[in-house]
């Protein structure tokens, strides 16, 4: 099928091609090229489920495999807090390149055999691990875009994670330059100055079911801080654009790049299971 590219369509392509890897002499956190999000589900028929035992099982895999896989920049688990499905278990991995995704799979297999050299023991571990989950899962791959506020490298803190999924509108009168200028200005004046936001990660669709998706993840300490964060966003916007008419005009310019439809999801990051 032939795709029609509008100016904002060119913008999305540009964002996906942005080289966002950031490494300096102080070894600051690296912004990945791709983020893989797997939505799994608890096995709701498991009668002897124990959260601590689940964490211990996944921690064993983290220590023996994921931590040693040089192709995986980071990984983390997120559990349902306020979403439409209480069975959700979100598993996120980040990669420095598209090629690294395939390499990571091969490297996992190698490390699994090193971790459990006895085949029977290896099979027993994966049977125990798999018993926690249903057979249903889905995968999406996103591409980070500039404007992130990063967690410290190796953070093991639990965080409330608010995910907002919006959708691009592809306006005929839009442009990459206009969108990026609006977004950069808003990011600098609001998100980066909001003291309740511990981390922020903006991502666009790279591979999956909906190319219009714009996914933002906000990390805060507590659920109460989420309310404070949202209130603070409004206050910072008023401080940045004190003239109400100018502020309204700017909001109108930003809103034309989106459909106006978005979804809200709140998860709990499991810090101990994070790389």
Q: Which CATH architecture is the domain 1-275 placed in?
A: 2-Layer Sandwich (3.30)
Residues 162-196 have pLDDT tens digits of 999 999 999 999 998 999 999 999 999 999 999 99
Q: Which stretches within 32-133 are classed as H helix?
A: 51-64, 98-115, 119-130
Mean pLDDT of 199-227: 96
Per-domain boundaries in the chain: 1-275
Mean pLDDT of the chain: 90
Work out the average pLDDT over 80-96: 97
Closest C-alpha to 113, from 75, 150, 65: 65
Give me the helices (H) in 116-172, please. Answer: 119-130
Give the confidence band of 3 by pLDDT, cuts at 50, 70, 90.
Answer: very low
Q: How far apart are CA 131 and CA 250, in angstroms?
A: 51
Checking if the pLDDT of 46 tops 60, the result is yes
pLDDT digits (tens, 9 = 90+) for 142-162: 999 999 999 988 899 999 999
Q: What is the pTM of this model?
A: 0.88
């Amino acid at each position: 099928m032939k795709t029609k590219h509008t100016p904002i369509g060119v913008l999305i392509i540009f964002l996906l091609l942005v080289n966002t890897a950031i490494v300096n002499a102080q070894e600051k956190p690296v912004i990945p090229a791709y983020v893989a999000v797997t939505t799994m589900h608890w096995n709701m028929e498991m009668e002897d489920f124990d959260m601590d035992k689940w964490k211990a099982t996944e921690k064993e895999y983290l220590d023996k495999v994921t931590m040693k896989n040089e192709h995986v920049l980071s990984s983390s688990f997120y559990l349902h807090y306020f979403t439409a499905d209480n069975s959700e278990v979100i598993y996120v991995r980040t990669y420095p390149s598209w090629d690294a995704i395939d390499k990571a799979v091969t490297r996992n297999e190698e490390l699994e055999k090193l971790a459990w050299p006895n085949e029977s023991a290896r099979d027993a571990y994966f049977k125990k691990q798999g018993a926690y989950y249903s057979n249903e899962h889905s995968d999406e791959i996103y591409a980070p875009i500039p404007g992130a506020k990063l967690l410290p490298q190796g953070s093991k803190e639990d965080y409330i994670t608010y995910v907002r999924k919006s959708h691009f509108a592809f306006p005929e009168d839009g442009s990459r330059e206009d969108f990026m200028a609006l977004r950069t200005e808003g990011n600098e004046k609001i998100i980066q100055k909001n003291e309740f936001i511990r981390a922020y990660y903006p991502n666009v669709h790279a591979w999956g079911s909906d190319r219009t998706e714009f996914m933002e993840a906000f990390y805060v300490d507590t659920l109460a801080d989420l309310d404070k964060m949202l209130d603070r966003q409004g206050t910072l916007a008023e401080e940045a654009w004190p003239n109400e008419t100018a502020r309204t005009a700017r909001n109108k310019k930003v809103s034309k790049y989106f459909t106006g439809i978005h979804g809200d999801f709140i998860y709990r990051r499991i810090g101990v299971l994070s790389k």
